[in-house]
């Protein structure tokens, strides 16, 4: 039954009208360098660029764009506490040196390489203490926490960032990485404040908005405070906002186990139906798998499932980044398989996930319909 289901999905993928306009990898390293075993607030802040954290390797972007000639999307992580130092708080006042380094990475991707870039504040809808992410820091907009940044401050931040990139048609505004353990109404309020501020700044590019509960696709409709019950109320005057969904394939959807056991075509069915019902689009900006041969069919399944359902417009696999070394960003079970960074190797010297997962599996299933021109949009370039 399993193999027949996969075969059917693969057949449909060849016949369906493709709507995957953007595909590539998440670039994870901009959030590095702040972990504290003792939860010491301020650890690694601001940090030394190029030593404690980085954004991209330009050579790696070259490999994905020039050598592979297929990847057109990179999701670039950064920390709010570095962009908006604790001394001034979350808002429109930026650390200019930090912003310039970030802008250099984004401009290399979008201007030099002519690809698209997601701006990714990797903060879990929290601000002021990333020392043990994803659990530390005050929830943005939590009025019962006197240390918390407000929803208005979050909007001010996004208004300023959008203003600075208003003339770059190839950016995508990824409002927040994986909100969790907070009221879904507050996720909606923060998302809406950001959308309003971005549009008020004159920016027309694509926005991707997260839901609650780690923005998991499998859990979108679950629980008494589900994303599905609330996030349908989101509004964009330009109708150029999609939802940002994450979906891992292991037993608890955390991306921390080697074994793949959850078939995306089954687990994503409820959120896919929800997207169709309300007329929304989505991107899956985090998914991944270990190099176990048993995971191959699961990776094929999630890629083909997105290709056969026109509510999905793009994806990024988790993760590449210049700071990973032999460590693995996901799905490793405490083993070091390397990352999706080109040239990555596992701790035993064998090929890393770039070879075993990207080249050997994902790259072979990349869409041929990716766009390389026009403003980022839910329709693939305006």
Model pLDDT for residues 220-252, shown as the tens digit of each residue: 999 999 999 999 999 999 999 999 999 999 999
Rounded Cα distance, 238 and 204, in Å: 7
Residue 377 covered by a domain = no
Residue 297 covered by a domain = yes
Nearest to 209 by CA among 277, 121, 140: 121
Residue 223 covered by a domain = yes
Q: CA angle, 265 as apex, 264 and 269 as ends, to 5°?
A: 105
Rounded Cα distance, 21 and 368, in Å: 9
In the set 160, 178, 247, 341, the catalytic residue is 178
Q: Which domain holds residue 273?
A: 2-365
Rounded Cα distance, 356 and 360, in Å: 5
Q: Averaged over 122-143, what is the pLDDT?
A: 98
Residue with tokens 């950064």: 78
Residue 371 covered by a domain = no
Residue 20 covered by a domain = yes
pLDDT at 68: 66
Which of 13-17, 79-83, 269-273, 315-319 shows the lowest per-residue confidence on average (mean pLDDT)?
Answer: 13-17
- What's the total number of domains in the chain? 1
- Rounded alpha-carbon distances, angstroms, from residue 324 to 126, 319, 329, 341, 346: 24, 9, 7, 8, 11
Given a contact cutoff of 8 angstroms between Cβ atoms, the answer to whether 61 and 361 are in contact is no
Residue 153 covered by a domain = yes
Q: Is the pLDDT of residue 274 over 90?
A: yes
178 a catalytic residue: yes
Which of 19-23, 69-73, 178-182, 310-314 shows the lowest per-residue confidence on average (mean pLDDT)?
Answer: 69-73
Rounded Cα distance, 103 and 79, in Å: 14
Nearest to 284 by CA among 1, 48, 2, 24: 24
Residue 314 in tokens: 């793009």
Nearest to 318 by CA among 124, 138, 122: 122
pLDDT at 67: 82
Residue 379 covered by a domain = no
Residue 306 in tokens: 């997105």
Q: Model confidence over 99-127: pLDDT tens digits?
A: 999 999 999 999 999 999 999 999 999 99
Distance, C-alpha 308 to centroid of its chain: 21
In the set 31, 81, 160, 286, the catalytic residue is 286
- CATH no. for residue 52? 3.20.20.80
pLDDT at 168: 98
Given a contact cutoff of 8 angstroms between Cβ atoms, the answer to whether 343 and 359 are in contact is no
Residue 280 covered by a domain = yes
31 a catalytic residue: no
Q: Which residues of 230-263 are buried (b: 16+ CB within 10 A; e: fewer)?
A: bbeebebebebbbbbbbbbbbeebebebbebebb
Which pLDDT band, with edges at 50, 70 and 90, does 381 fall under? confident
pTM: 0.94
Residue with tokens 């398989």: 337
Q: Is the pLDDT of residue 6 over 80?
A: no
Residue 78 in tokens: 């950064």
């Amino acid at each position: 039954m399993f193999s027949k289901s996969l075969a059917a999905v693969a057949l449909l993928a060849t016949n369906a009208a493709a709507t995957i306009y953007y595909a590539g990898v998440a670039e994870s390293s901009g959030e590095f360098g702040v972990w504290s075993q003792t939860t010491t607030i301020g650890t690694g802040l601001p940090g030394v660029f190029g030593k404690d954290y980085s954004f991209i390797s330009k050579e790696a972007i070259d490999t994905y764009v020039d050598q592979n000639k297929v990847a057109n999307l990179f999701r670039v992580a950064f920390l709010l506490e570095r962009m908006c130092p604790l001394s001034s708080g979350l808002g429109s006042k930026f650390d200019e040196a930090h912003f310039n380094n970030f802008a250099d990475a984004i401009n290399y991707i979008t201007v030099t390489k002519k690809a698209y870039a997601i701006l990714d504040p990797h903060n879990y809808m929290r601000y002021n203490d990333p020392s043990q992410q994803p659990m530390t820091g005050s929830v943005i907009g939590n009025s019962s926490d006197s240390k918390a940044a407000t929803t208005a401050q979050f909007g001010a931040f996004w208004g300023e960032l959008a203003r600075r990139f208003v003339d770059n048609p190839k950016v995508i505004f990824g409002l927040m990485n994986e909100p969790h353990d907070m009221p879904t109404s507050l996720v909606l309020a923060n998302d809406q404040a950001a959308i309003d501020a971005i549009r008020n700044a004159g920016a027309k590019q694509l926005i991707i908005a997260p839901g609650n509960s780690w923005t998991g696709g499998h859990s979108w409709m679950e629980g008494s405070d589900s994303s599905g019950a609330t996030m349908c109320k989101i509004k964009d005057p330009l109708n150029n906002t999609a939802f940002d969904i994450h979906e891992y394939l292991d037993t608890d959807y955390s991306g921390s186990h080697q074994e793949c056991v959850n078939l995306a075509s089954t687990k994503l069915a409820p959120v896919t139906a929800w997207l169709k019902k309300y007329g929304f689009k989505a991107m899956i900006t985090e998914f991944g798998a270990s190099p176990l041969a048993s995971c191959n069919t699961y990776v094929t399944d999630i890629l083909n499932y997105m290709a056969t359902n026109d509510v999905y417009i793009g994806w990024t696999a988790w993760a590449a980044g210049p700071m990973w070394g032999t460590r693995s960003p996901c799905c490793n079970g405490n083993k070091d398989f390397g990352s999706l960074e080109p040239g990555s190797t596992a701790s035993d010297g064998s090929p890393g996930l770039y070879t075993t997962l990207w080249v050997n599996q994902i790259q072979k299933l990349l869409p041929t319909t990716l766009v390389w021109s026009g403003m980022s949009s839910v329709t693939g370039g305006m």
